Structure formats: structure tokens, C-alpha cells
Amino acid sequence: MYAPLHPDPALPPVRINLYSDTQTRPTAAMKAAMVEAEVGDEQAGLDPTVNALCERMASLLGKEAAMFLPSGTMCNQIAIITHCRPGDEILAHGTSHILTSEGGGAAALAGAQITPLPGPGGQFDAAAVRAALRPRTRNAPPQALLEVEQTANAGGGTIWPLAVLNEVAAIAQEAGLATHMDGARLMNAVVATGIPAREMAAGYDSVWLDFTKGLGAPLGAVLAGSRDFIDAAWKWKQRMGGAMRQAGICAAACLYALDHHVDRLAEDHDNAKALARGLAQIPGLTVEAPETNLVFFDTRGTGLTAAELYARVRSHGVNFSISSTHRGRACTHLDVTRAQIDEALQVIRAALA
């Protein structure tokens, strides 16, 4: 659905990369921290840097234990397969990453089915959860897990209000479901609201944070939960080949990101607002007001599809991602400066003039 990831050699290099915060490069200081990392055998629990990261993340997320994994997708899939049995049902938003962007992993790996819940901005409310809950009959699929995404990526990088997070989690728990938070961009929500991560995750049995989004690490994500949950999840980490060796090299980048790249997410949010203001002034573009670092816009009024607009700006070294026929997503991050936002706006304006 997004534009091709592979660079077309006929095109000039990308100068201003609004495609995704996943494409940030590790900074020189982050690489220096990686080089100096103390390492050991992660699978055996002997990598001191991984252990330090997991302890810090368990505390940050308010859980008993945590586990280092290569990617956010593996965090979601291991959480799903730990919480669910084959035939179980997961309640998640219709635009959720686990439903749209993980290769059908819930079905393929856990044998679980996802029922999409409706609601604006990638979020659902208490009424939507109540409407989806089924009586526990012989013929109904066992409902096992409720999942939320903070921030909601395809929903527009929106921030779930704390009260709604707590309310939908409480309803699910009362009905006997486990609860899981996809916190790929959780720290964006934390920085934007000032609400600590542990408070946002309090109603959730499992939660994870991605280090390869706005936090700018080359790889790594941390999944947290109760000691029993992480114990059970370790079996799946092992089975799926997610148990690692000298992974401290990568955990050091994550620790560096926690120290140096969290507060600066506010800059990305400011840049996203500036970008949205500029885009809204371009005739034909309709812009969704950004709450964090993702700026979604609709191209219908320009007479162009998102892909057609993409092609025009890409030839000038600017990119973004395509989320559907007329919907584009521009993402601000560590490698995009305010000056580049202004330049990108000029390119987009010229492309539509």
C-alpha cells in the first residue's frame, strides 16, 4: 500500500525523507555508544547491556519484567501467541497494525482471528467494545485479547485519552480478556501529553515500545509484562528465533535513545504542526490536524492521487508514504529539520501549482 521501498536508480537521491520515522540513521554519538557496549550471551541472560535495558524498560512501563526483541512486529506476534490459543478472537481497531501490516501473523502463527472494531482516528470506545463482546457460548470463538495502539498510526498518529485507555481495558478484563498495548510510538504520546508511560500502560497486561521509530535506533523493541507473562513469552522468543547473542550492541543504541532522543520528540511534533499548517494552505489538499509526528493529508481536491503527487515531489528529492488512493502520510523525525519542512512545502506547492 505504501510507495515502493526500493530506490529507483533513475530518481535523484531522497534529500528530505518524510516517508517514515523508521528510516532514521543512527547518529555518530549513538554509534559510539554501541561500539563501547559491554556484551554477553543474550539468550543465556548474560548480556549486561540488554539486562540494563530490560530493567529500565520494565520500570518505565510499570511492569515486572521485560524482554528485548529485534522488532516491534515480533513484540506484537509474541504477545499475541502468548495470550491466545488457536481459534481465539482478538478485538482490535480495523486500522490496527496487527490487522493490516503484519502479514496476517495473528492467523498464521497464533491461529487467532482479529475482529476489527470501528471508531474515528484509529480508536474505539467503551460502547464499541461492549457491542463486540459475545456471550461465552459453545459456538462462539473464545474472546481472548483486546489490543490498542498508542499512538494510533493509521488513525493519524492520534493519542488515546488516558480515561478511554483505562475504560476499554477495564471492560475487557471484566469479560475475561487479556489486554495488550502496541506502543510502537508510545513515547510520542508521553511527550505530547506529559502523562508517564507507566500510567498509559497501567490497564494493559502487556505493552511494548519500538526503538526504531522516532527514537532513532537501528533495531530493537522491548516487550514488558508480568514476570509470568515474560517467562511464557521467552519460550516463543526462542522458538521464533528471536533469542540473540551479543545483542548489547543494539541495546546500547536503545539506552542511548532513552537518554537523548525522547524529549526531542517534541521538536518532531512542532515540525509536524508546521508541516500541517503549510499543507493546509495549499489549494486542494485537506489535512488531518496532527497530534504527534504523523501528518495525513487527502489529495482528492487536487485532482491527483497520492501516488501521482508522490511521483511529482519524489523527482525533486522529497518523499512521503502512500496510505491509500488519495491519502498520503508525511512523517517528521530525527533526520528532518525545520528548514527541510519549509523546503518540502515549497516543493509540494510547486508540484501542485
Cβ closest to ligand PLP, residue 143 vs residue 292? 292
Q: What are phi and psi of 239, to 5 degrees?
A: -65, -35
Place of cell 470506545: 125
CB of 49 to ligand PLP, least distance (A): 19
48 DSSP assignment: H
Q: Does 23 engage in binding with ligand PLP (CB under 6 A)?
A: no
CB of 69 to ligand PLP, least distance (A): 9
Q: Which of 184, 207, 254, 352 binds ligand PLP (CB under 6 A)?
A: 184
Cβ closest to ligand PLP, residue 114 vs residue 184? 184
CB of 98 to ligand PLP, least distance (A): 7
Q: Does 89 engage in binding with ligand PLP (CB under 6 A)?
A: no
Q: Does 332 engage in binding with ligand PLP (CB under 6 A)?
A: no
CB of 73 to ligand PLP, least distance (A): 3
Cβ closest to ligand PLP, residue 47 vs residue 182? 182
**SS3 call for 330:** strand
Q: Does 182 engage in binding with ligand PLP (CB under 6 A)?
A: yes
Residue 118 and residue 115: Cα distance in Å, rounded? 10
Span near ligand PLP by CB under 6 A; candidates 71-79, 136-144, 190-198, 255-263:
71-79
CB of 102 to ligand PLP, least distance (A): 7
Q: What are phi and psi of 15, to 5 degrees?
A: -95, -40
Q: Which of 65, 81, 99, 221 binds ligand PLP (CB under 6 A)?
A: 221
Q: Which of 72, 157, 248, 290 binds ligand PLP (CB under 6 A)?
A: 72
The alpha-helical segments, DSSP class H, found in 248-300 are: 248-260, 265-280
Cβ closest to ligand PLP, residue 151 vs residue 302? 151
Round to the nearest angstrom and report the end-to-end CA distance of the chain: 27
> Cis bond leading into 151, ω under 30°?
yes
Query: Which residue, judged by CB position, is nearest to ligand PLP in the bound state?
Result: 72
Q: Does 149 engage in binding with ligand PLP (CB under 6 A)?
A: yes
CB of 314 to ligand PLP, least distance (A): 22
Q: Which of 97, 180, 261, 326 binds ligand PLP (CB under 6 A)?
A: 97
Sheet holding 65-69, edge to edge: 65-69, 221-225, 206-210, 178-183, 143-149, 89-93, 113-117
Give the Å distances, CA to CA, from 208 to 27, 63, 327, 329, 338: 23, 11, 28, 23, 30
Residue 185 and residue 123: Cα distance in Å, rounded? 15
9 DSSP assignment: T
CB of 22 to ligand PLP, least distance (A): 6
The residues facing 182 across adjacent strands are: 149, 208
Report the candidate in 109, 120, 110, 171 with the shortest Cα–Cα distance to residue 146: 171
Cβ closest to ligand PLP, residue 73 vs residue 271? 73
CB of 212 to ligand PLP, least distance (A): 5
Please count the residues of this chain forming the interface with ligand PLP, following the rule CB under 6 A: 13
Tell me, letter by letter, the H, E, C secondary structure of 137-196.
CCCCCCEEEEEEECCECCCCCECCCHHHHHHHHHHHHHCCCEEEEEECCHHHHHHHHCCC
Binding site for ligand PLP (CB under 6 A): 22, 71-73, 76, 97, 149, 153, 182, 184, 210, 212, 221
